[in-house]
């Protein structure tokens, strides 16, 4: 369900949580409904649209309406984590379905696909996310059911042309799913570029405060698969609680301003360290030197995001040491929060990971750009 105020800019709709002032109290902050069950009237009819919170609930529905509106989708479903959302989507695939996914993507999501492939639930081919033609070559007309794209790809920040991937998927009768966690609605609306399903780890930018674990799927069409996704969530119980849904609403109200500031600071950091004597490379789609910059500029219209990676000049021990010497950047997993994080990705990814030993992933928060640059400078010096 989308807002009736669709003549307003998405930034306004997000800031006002679709403008839903509490009718009973006049409160400008959306109310929190923590109820797990909902009453019936004297005729045993439901008083409202909800019966049990595993299926739906008021605060959950409000969060879903906001995400669907911002993405331009026909509907949204919120889950207890991004992986729960991804698993629900894969549960709707036919037995033995063929899936095409990138070689570099969120490692846990790829681990899930590998697990399903090992158990012969599906067949899996991985394409080179730096070369769209390898995606197209792997798609099998009449056989491929899901083409998966993550752009920018975590943690190398390679960029895939969503419109190209959509054409390749649809021409073969497949659907296109896009993990847009690192390119949220302020900069990319993947459905407008041809995506059928959009995924967000809402833990990250949508919430933006590192105090919530959540995931969300958005659909372009209210079709049979979408009905099935809702059924999977209901039957497996992977739904978000009322308080967590309220935290997600709170986070999305500042999404646009946070993302703009994080993008601005990340670009300043990337430019500063490009060509730095202690840095072998900077991976950030906002740099003109980035191989995917042209495509990123076309489909990331609201900034290039707060995620970048640096390749430290040295070996794995050098990179790990840099990650432990920062004083402003916090060495921790996750991304998209108001605090800046640094992580040595090779240390936490799966054995199949192809991430470079010297790669440090940076999630830029809301601190001073000067402080963050100075912090990395002192950490690199040792």
Q: Which residues carry out catalysis?
A: 54, 106, 179, 204
Contact 224, 65 (CB under 8 A): no
How many CA atoms does the CB half-sphere of 241 hold within 13 Å?
5
CA dist list (Å): 318 to 98, 306, 331, 373: 41, 24, 15, 18
Q: Which two tokens stand for residue 45?
A: 């009819």
């Amino acid at each position: 369900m989308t807002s009736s105020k669709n003549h307003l800019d998405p930034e306004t709709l997000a800031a006002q949580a679709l403008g839903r002032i509490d009718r009973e109290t006049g409160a400008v902050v959306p109310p929190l409904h923590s109820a797990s069950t909902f009453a019936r009237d004297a005729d045993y009819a439901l008083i409202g649209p909800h019966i049990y919170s595993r299926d739906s609930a008021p605060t959950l529905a409000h969060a879903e309406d906001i995400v669907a509106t911002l993405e331009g989708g026909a509907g949204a479903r919120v889950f207890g984590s991004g992986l729960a959302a991804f698993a629900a989507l894969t549960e709707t695939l036919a037995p033995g379905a063929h899936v095409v996914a990138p070689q570099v993507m969120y490692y846990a999501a790829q681990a899930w696909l590998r697990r399903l492939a090992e158990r012969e639930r599906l067949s899996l081919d991985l394409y080179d996310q730096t070369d769209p033609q390898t995606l197209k070559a792997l798609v099998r007309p009449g056989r491929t059911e899901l083409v998966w794209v993550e752009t920018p790809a975590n943690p190398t920040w390679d960029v895939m042309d969503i419109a190209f991937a959509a054409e390749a998927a649809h021409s073969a009768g497949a659907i296109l799913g896009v993990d847009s966690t690192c390119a949220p609605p302020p900069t990319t609306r993947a459905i407008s570029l041809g995506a059928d399903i959009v995924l967000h780890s809402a833990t990250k930018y949508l919430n933006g405060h590192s105090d919530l674990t959540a995931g969300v799927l958005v659909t372009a069409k209210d079709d049979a698969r979408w009905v099935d996704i809702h059924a999977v969530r209901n039957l497996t119980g992977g739904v978000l609680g009322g308080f967590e849904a309220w935290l997600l609403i709170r986070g999305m109200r500042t999404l646009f301003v946070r993302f703009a500031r994080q993008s601005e600071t990340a670009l300043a950091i990337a430019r500063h360290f490009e060509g730095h004597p202690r840095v072998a490379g900077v991976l950030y789609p906002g740099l003109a030197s980035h191989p995917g910059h042209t495509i990123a500029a076309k489909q990331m219209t609201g900034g290039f995001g707060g995620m970048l990676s640096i390749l430290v000049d040295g070996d794995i021990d050098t990179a790990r040491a840099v990650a432990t010497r920062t004083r402003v950047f916090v060495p921790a997993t996750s991304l998209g929060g108001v605090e800046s994080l640094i992580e040595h990705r090779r240390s936490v990814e799966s054995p199949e990971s192809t991430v470079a030993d010297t790669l440090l992933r940076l999630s830029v928060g809301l601190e001073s750009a000067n402080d963050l640059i100075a912090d990395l400078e002192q950490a690199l010096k040792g």
